[in-house]
Amino acid sequence: MIATESLSKRFPRVTALDRLSLDIGPGVTGLVGANGAGKSTMIKILLGLSPATEGHAKVLGLDVATDGPAIRERVGYMPEHDCLPPDVSATEFVVHMARMSGLPPAAARERTADTLRHVGLYEERYRPMGGYSTGMKQRVKLAQALVHDPQLVLLDEPTNGLDPVGRDEMLGLIRRVWTDFGISVLVTSHLLGELERTCDHVVVIDGGRLLRSSSTSDFTQTMATVAVEVTGSDTHPDGTAALRAALTAAGVALHARVEEGLPGAGHILLLEATGEETYDIVRDTVADLGLGLVRMEQRRHHIAEVFRPDAAADQPLEVRSR
Ligand SMILES: Nc1ncnc2c1ncn2[C@@H]1O[C@H](COP(=O)(O)OP(=O)(O)OP(=O)(O)O)[C@@H](O)[C@H]1O
């Protein structure tokens, strides 16, 4: 889908991308980096909107230096910043974008209705967008990226400004762009944790340089910390201690430290998941002991962990806690 070779972008005072070589296949790929890491610059180069200073890049086999218009016909783009005209409705806007992409009027209207339904905008789609919430605006931006049925969409920080519920909904929609429609996705974020659940592959950049590019399962296998909280039972009044003993016996790696649960409740155990089977072991062990499972959640990783993998290994408790 995307291949870059020694791709660089140098501004007079800043190197935004520094010899980045990547090979991104079909599916959902996350491009993760702190603010200023070079994510938006990369997207603009891939769309053929901004020339690279050095190196090469191909999108869908097309050269970004010479085939920009052909790339933009086949690729959808969701920009990071608010760019919606306030006085037109979502329907009018998305039809306009579909027409700009070359769809005839009837097809543009039909595709607009389908796409707005897909992103979860119903009656509101006839209202001026100036009155929309951030979540609704993000959905319109996603819809206009999809309306011409592209092979690939580039989504720049689609969860920006959303509350946790809105973020989860947006991530679900993004996942379905691939699973339901077969459209590949490159999505940027500054949070590795949120992309882990959505992406098949994650690319991490820092200061324009490639830090890591690997499948999400590789990330989670090496870096998944899971928090588990249980209630006690008559047989096991200290449920946390009973669970710790049983999980240790089952070979699960537990952190020595525990976190405090809610007032009056027990402690929260932290453990390292090596794969899906760890979750099954925890669930079965809790059931076997007759304890109540209050929570079992994967801890969000901050991008800093990837910047300092050695530190993360040495001090998992500090670096990995939320
Ligand atoms: N047109 C420009 N002129 C000069 N410097 C630029 C320009 N565009 C981007 N930069 C710089 O290049 C670096 C990378 O910027 P970029 O916008 O790609 O980062 P980002 O990872 O997308 O971060 P953010 O999410 O904050 O936009 C930053 O230091 C930025 O200041």
How close is the Cα of 208 to the center of ligand 1, in Å?
A: 10
- Which residue's alpha carbon is at the smallest distance from atom 5 of ligand 1? 11
Q: Which residues have any ligand 1 atom within 6 Å of their CB?
A: 11, 14, 16, 33, 35-41, 157
CB 237, CB 300: distance < 8 Å: no
Residue type, 28: V
- C-alpha dist (Å) from residue 68 to 63, 118, 149, 235, 259: 8, 28, 18, 68, 52
Choices 3.50.50.60, 3.40.640.10, 3.30.70.260, 3.20.20.70: CATH for 220-320: 3.30.70.260
Q: Which residues contact 101 (CB under 8 A, 6 or more apart)?
A: 73, 147, 148
Q: What is the pLDDT of residues 198-244, one digit of tens each?
A: 898 989 888 888 888 888 777 655 557 888 999 888 899 888 999 99
Question: How many Å apart are CA 51 and CA 224, to the nearest integer?
Answer: 38
- Which residue's alpha carbon is at the smallest distance from atom 12 of ligand 1? 16
Q: What is the pLDDT of residues 127-136, one digit of tens each?
A: 999 999 999 9
- Which residue's alpha carbon is at the smallest distance from atom 10 of ligand 1? 16
Write b or e for each residue in 119-130: b if 16 or more Cβ atoms lie within 10 A of its Cβ, otherwise e: bbbeebbeeebe
Give start-end residues of each CATH 3.40.50.300 domain in the chain. 2-207
- pLDDT in the model for residue 305: 54
Choices 3.40.190.10, 1.20.120.530, 3.40.50.300, 3.40.50.1950: CATH for 2-207: 3.40.50.300
CB 43, CB 56: distance < 8 Å: no
| Ligand 1 pocket: which of 14, 17, 211 to mutate (most atoms within 8 A of CB) | 14
Atom of ligand 1 nearest to the CA of 50: 1
How close is the Cα of 33 to the center of ligand 1, in Å?
A: 12
- pLDDT in the model for residue 28: 95
- pLDDT in the model for residue 220: 57
Percent of the chain with pLDDT over 70: 90
Give start-end residues of each CATH 3.30.70.260 domain in the chain. 220-320
ipTM confidence: 0.93
Largest separation between any pair of C-alpha atoms in the chain: 72
- pLDDT in the model for residue 301: 54
Residues of the chain with pLDDT under 50: 302-304, 308-322
